[in-house]
Structure 1
Amino acid sequence: MANIQTDLLIIGGSDAGISAALRARELNKDIQITIVLADEFPNLSICGIPYAVSKEVPAWQNLAHRTVKDLEAYQIDFYMNTWATAINPTAHTVTATRGEEAITFAYQHLMVGTGAVPKELPLTGVGDGIHVLHTMGDFFDIEAQLVQHQPKQAAIIGAGYVGIEMAEALTHRDVAVSLFQRGSEVLSTIDADLATPINDALTQNGVQVFTNATVTEITQTPTGYRLIGGATNETFDFVLVVVGVRPNSILLEEAGAEVTTNHAVI
């Protein structure tokens, strides 16, 4: 087991974690800063992933705000592909795993920037053709399926920003897209008179839009996937579930943090 001492330990290497690290370095040139992240892609524009799928961003590496080399120039130590498993606020330690290796980080100050995770749906029959889109790992999975299996019919469950962006991206990749929204309009966070022209634009670009369609189950058939509650009997060879996110707060909850009913940290 490795034991690492640091002044400032940050869990999470996306925008919140990186911003905190850079601000700490700006305020104190001597503080030791360590970042633990579950993958190996710090400071990437995750919001830009749909545009990497569409190839409007031709190389996914271009999503990086800064490269790892850029960040290491700020004397930040990275522990990548490392999964934080528990916080002990009394002892000022965090336990983590990296592959088969167990690591204990002892800190003076701790910042948790673990963000959110995709909301789950009560789905059955899940197979290789069903995806979420939240991390670079999800992007690589989607890209592999688009290249290796060349799907022709895609269903996107959820017509928020990511669902609409992915409808555009898959259309760019010559995939026919059906978009399913449980509400009466796409983009339920905006007024209906703004959502209607967006709906029209999707339709004009070949996207089938199904509103008031609450998908309750995905079933696998010999020819693909069918959506129960999706208002169509079509079969799809690619399914993307993007129905929002929830706070990724379990580490803090288990360490005693107070949370709201939807698990946001108070």
Structure 2
Amino acid sequence: MELKKLHLGTVSYAGDTMDLVAGYVADIGEQVKASRRDMGTRVRDLVTTMAICHNVTPSYEDGELSYQAASPDEIAIVKFTKSVGLSLVKRDRHSLALYHEASKRTYEYEILQVFPFNSDTKRMGIVVLDKTRDELWFLQKGADTVMMSIVQHNDWLEEETSNMAREGLRTLVVARKKLKSTVYEEFKTKYQEASMSMVNRDQSMAKVISQYLEYDLELLGLTGVEDRLQKDVKSSIEVLRNAGVKIWMLTGDKVETARCVSVSAKCMLTY
């Protein structure tokens, strides 16, 4: 899998324009003089959030950095942030570190909570303490169908998600919220109480997350990942079809995405 496109509402980046993203990322840490958030700031915020909000673990073999995770989508995203100059270099249960290539600086984050992705919630989130700025953040990414009701009102997300799906890209919505320490401490207490409930435990925990975290998030952007077919898949399927064997593709993606992948794989699409 490979991240092919970023969309920030007013502008998108793909192909050769990803060099612009790398240029913006190189300026992380620079003081922004403008009172409003310019495009460079928006891109840096999106890429930084992408580099933190995941369950990827870095590993080293013969001095080479590689990544491991249950989700290939997450590996594709973390590899992308590395390619534009912000690398995940350390991760354990309680902390992670990002290395900024341009400044040769390492940014440390304390992991306070992780809310893993599952097929029911269709999203994952993380609460971190940015040790450089002493700021608490709730970061989240997920499917547009659930994130639309969580992020702030906008007039572009639904349309652009559909456009990316028609291009055969798997999409994730990326958002964040800055937390006050008092709010987080209250959340932590309520969440702990819910986690010890003997009745409707999962529902109680989800309710606390929704009440304290999952509302009015700042929409940072939309990612589009290409799910590439393995070598010789097309030719193998074609041989099977020529032999009279019917092929079906089962997918949990949007119909538009499934249609594009099935055409490229020469499968029959039913839904």
Specify the TM-score bucket, using the shorter chain as the normaliser. under 0.3
Which structure is higher in helix share?
Answer: 2
TM, length-normalised to structure 2: 0.24
Q: Which has the larger radius of gyration?
A: 1
